[in-house]
Every structure is written in structure tokens, then in C-alpha cells.
Amino acid sequence: MVKDTGKRNQLFTGLPEPTLRRMPEYLHFLQRAWERGVIDISAPYIGRELNLDPTQVVKDFAITGVKGKPKVGYNTYELIQNIEEYIGFNRTNEAILAGAGNLGSAILSYAQFQGFGIKIIAAFDADPSKTGLIKGNVNIFAIERIHELLHRLKVQIGIITTPAAAAQETADTMTACGIKAIWNFAPVTLKVPDDVIVQNTSMYANVAVLLKKHQLLQEQFRIVENV
Amino acid sequence: MVKDTGKRNQLFTGLPEPTLRRMPEYLHFLQRAWERGVIDISAPYIGRELNLDPTQVVKDFAITGVKGKPKVGYNTYELIQNIEEYIGFNRTNEAILAGAGNLGSAILSYAQFQGFGIKIIAAFDADPSKTGLIKGNVNIFAIERIHELLHRLKVQIGIITTPAAAAQETADTMTACGIKAIWNFAPVTLKVPDDVIVQNTSMYANVAVLLKKHQLLQEQFRIVENV
DNA sequence: TAGATTGTTAATCGATTAACAATC
DNA sequence: TAGATTGTTAATCGATTAACAATC
């Protein structure tokens, strides 16, 4: 068994999360550059465009194992390949989704169209009026059928877009069905076995940062105006 | 003028962003506790439930200015009030949204129902077939009318849910109309004047972290099984 | 060769965690 | 009073930034 230190993060030492979060940004930028015919691209250039320290860009790229040439930079295509490989965007990662409300429906359509590494192959909802519907090419099933369907599908990724009150129960069902990674949009802390990871995406957290920074920046400028 | 150091963050020194991101989580948890009749609540208890270090909880609360009692903890209601006040969830922060596609529509409905501090009062879209529609009680206008409408509405917060290719142009229009805070869902780095803040929420970043952690944890457990 | 960029090692900075005194 | 918790100061940890040598 993996020792449970209570510190889940210790399993991921050497995995700098900020770097990981920047990877898709690099990817998008590099793909646009590649489309414009940019063969070689340097870290200082990318840094200027993305508002990042050039050393940080170099370090981030080093993690993927790509090699650059002094004075020239990196091969754009090779860089794209390496980043996609590193974060797993080039594999087909199948997922299921629970809670086909507003947010859930959006994720369904969004994931299918944008295709960011995951493919949602089934959705579930507790509301009987939603079962049988199809959203973003995905069938919505009754939540009771999750066990039966997952037994056949062998999916490891689950997305929770249920109301907060239903999130923990949904997570329990998912882990009981073999889900090993949960993308949780509900504003609750989920309790899961230690061979399961949870990635929280909270709209609330982002609104909080947005509002507070806005408030502070406005104060700053008001002070300056009154001097 | 505020000196532009190139480091936007320097304007926000003393604003620990991780703390800010935890605030809505505390808030949600405290509201549930309050509903259950919990009058006083301690940092160690909250820490256990939310998987956080108790000292961190104490420090986070201290930022809001709330006072606790040794041996007792904090008054739940007072704590809720202080956090709401601190992050601005108790004010009505009006916003507009540009890009009423899948994600945009979801945010429209989601924001209205959940009411997390912001109230979207108008939406805009470039697609003529969408103008005139109402989603989540919000009217969708032609993007050309943004100038005219914002002149009257005096809104400071803008949400960008357009395709990536249209995001920068949308941001330019918004800032030209007096928007001071942009919540950007497009996977691009926006360039804005330095009295405007940008909060990026990237689905891609979250998927990247999810996929990589999942991959690593599975490897860990595979290794353990084979020992 | 000169100069820009990679790649690596060291310094800084900020957040988390630990230690501990104050207090109810 | 004893003990749990707040509140604060110090230590640790990790990420960012700076410095600089290697290299094309």
C-alpha cells in the first residue's frame, strides 16, 4: 500500500502544479504560432507574449524533456508534441458526467466541441425528465444506471456538476464504480479513497479573486487620483 | 499614475490569493453549519472537515478581521458576515457577458441561480440568430450595441466566454467601454490597460492538472502492486 | 567572433506549517 | 485550575526570479 501521510500532495512531489496549469496556455499559443508558419520559437518571445518570465518558460519546457538550441529556440512542432504528450492531451481520456443541469450541459457541449483531452461518453442525472435526452451528442441516463453502465465502460474519469448537496453521494457512487479521477465543480470538499484524485474547479473561488482584486485596484486608483 | 512595474501583482501585495480562493469554501461550509444550528465553530474542526491545516484556517480568518475566543472558536454568524463582506459577496456586483455560446449560456443561468456575488444584467453575441433571445432571464444583444448600452449601465465587470479568436477584440471593446475587471474563460492571454484586472478561468488548465495527477497516481499504485 | 538563447545553479519571495505564548 | 483554542512569530517548503556559464 501507498502510505497515507494525510498529505495527498506528497504523492505528487516533483509535479509543479503552476507549471502544469501553464502548459495548455503554451499549447494554445504554440498552435496559433505553428499555423502562422513559425518553425522555431524562443522562450523570451513566448514570455513577452504570455507575460511570463523567460526563465520560467525555459524551466517549464525542460520538464517535458524537449531540447532547445541556443540562439535559435525550440522547434515549434516538437514543442507542441512534447507538451501534448506530457499533459496527455493527445490521448483519448474517456469520462462520464453526473448532473446535467446548466453547468453540466455546458461542459458536455464544451468538451465535445473543444476536445480538450477528454471525451465524455455518458451523462447521468437524478431528474427523470432529463433521462433519455441527448446533449452535445451525449446520452443522459438515470443516475441509478451508473453502476451497470460503468461496469461495461471501464471509465476512470468522472465529472461532478450536481448541486452541492448531492456531490458527496455522487462521488461515493463514482468511486464505488471504479472512477479514479474526479473533476468536481461543486463547492464542497469531497472525501474519497486515497487512490482517487479530486480536481476542484470552483466558480466561487474565481469570482472571489476577481471581486477582491477589482475592489483593491479601484481603491489604488482612487487614492492616486486624490493625491 | 500608478507606476507600471510590469509586475501587476505588486499592486496586490498583502493579498494572499490562495487564502482568497479558500474563502468561498469556508463560506459554503459555514452556511451549512449555521443551518444545522451551529452557533460557535473552531478552526481545528473546520480544518478537519475541509482538509486544511488549523493554523491556516486561523490565519485566513484573521485577514477578515473577525475575532475568536480561545477554547470556544468563532461565532458562526459573525464569521459568515465577515467573509461575505471581505470578498464582496454581500454586495450586488453587476456584470455583462460577451459570448452566449455553450459556456456563456451556462454561466448566465448558473450565476443567476446560484447568485455568487455577481448579477449579469446583459449579454452580447456576434451571432445575429442569438440576439433578442433571453437566457437565464438575461437579454442577448448584438455585440455592436455594447458601447451604447454600457454607456447607460455603468457596469465595471465583464465576462468573456467568446471563442479564443474573438477574446482580445472583446476585451478591447470592454475596456473602451469602462469595464475594469474581466473574467476571462478563453484560453488566451489578454492585454489590457493597467487599471483593469483580468481573472482567467481555464478549463484546459484544470483538465491538464486532472489528467496528469491521475496518470501519476495510477503509476504509483501500479508500482506498489508489482512490488 | 559576437551575441542571443538555452540550461543550470543560487537567491529571493511568498505561502504553508510548526512552535509556543496568551487567554478564555 | 486544566486544557483547548486563538493569535503570533519562526521555520520550512516550494515556486519564481536572478545570475551566469555553456553553446550554437
pLDDT of residue B41: 98
How many angstroms separate the CA atoms of A61 and A74, rounded? 9
**Separation between the CA of A13 and the C1’ of C8 (whole angstroms):** 20
pLDDT of residue B115: 67
Q: How confident is the model at residue A128 (pLDDT cuts 50, 70, 90)?
A: very high
Which is more confidently placed, A47 or B9? A47
**B38-44: long-range pairs with CB below 8 Å, 24+:** B38/B76, B39/B75, B39/B76, B39/B77, B40/B69, B40/B72, B40/B73, B40/B74, B40/B75, B40/B76, B41/B73, B41/B74, B41/B76, B41/B79, B42/B68, B42/B72, B42/B73, B42/B74, B43/B68, B43/B73, B43/B74
Q: How confident is the model at residue A37 (pLDDT cuts 50, 70, 90)?
A: very high
Interface test with B, best of A89, A109, A210 (most B CBs within 10 A): A210
pLDDT of residue B109: 87
Closest-CA residue to B83 (of B68, B67, B69, B66): B66
SS3 assignment, position A12:
helix
SS3 assignment, position A202:
coil
pLDDT digits (tens, 9 = 90+) for A83-127: 999 999 999 899 999 999 989 998 998 887 676 789 999 999 999
| Shortest alpha-carbon distance between residue A131 and chain B (Å) | 19
Determine whether the distance from the CB of B43 to the nearest atom of strand D is below 7 Å.
yes
* Cell 522562450 sits on residue: A43
Average pLDDT over all residues of chain A: 91
Mean pLDDT of A198-209: 95
Which is more confidently placed, A149 or B117? A149
Q: Closest CB to B220: pick one of A11, A113, A212.
A: A11
pLDDT digits (tens, 9 = 90+) for A168-183: 999 999 999 999 999 9
Interface test with A, best of B109, B180, B210 (most A CBs within 10 A): B210
Residue A88 C-alpha cell reads as 496527455
| A110:B183 CB<8 A | no
pLDDT of residue B2: 34
Q: Closest CB to A199: pick one of B107, B156, B206.
A: B206
**Separation between the CA of B117 and the C1’ of C24 (whole angstroms):** 36
**Separation between the CA of A41 and the C1’ of C9 (whole angstroms):** 25
How many angstroms separate the CA atoms of B157 and B95, rounded? 5
pLDDT of residue A62: 97
Residues of chain B with pLDDT under 50: 1-8
pLDDT of residue B141: 97
| pTM as predicted | 0.92
Max CA separation in chain A (angstroms): 69
Determine whether the distance from the CB of B37 to the nearest atom of strand C is below 7 Å.
no
Q: Closest CB to A212: pick one of B15, B27, B196.
A: B15
Q: Closest CB to B51: pick one of A1, A113, A189.
A: A189
| Shortest alpha-carbon distance between residue A206 and chain B (Å) | 7
Determine whether the distance from the CB of A67 to the nearest atom of strand D is below 7 Å.
no
| A183:B207 CB<8 A | yes
Mean pLDDT of A20-46: 97
pLDDT of residue A18: 96
| A217:B15 CB<8 A | no
Determine whether the distance from the CB of B101 to the nearest atom of strand C is below 7 Å.
no
Q: Do the Cβ atoms of B41 and B73 come closer than 8 Å?
A: yes
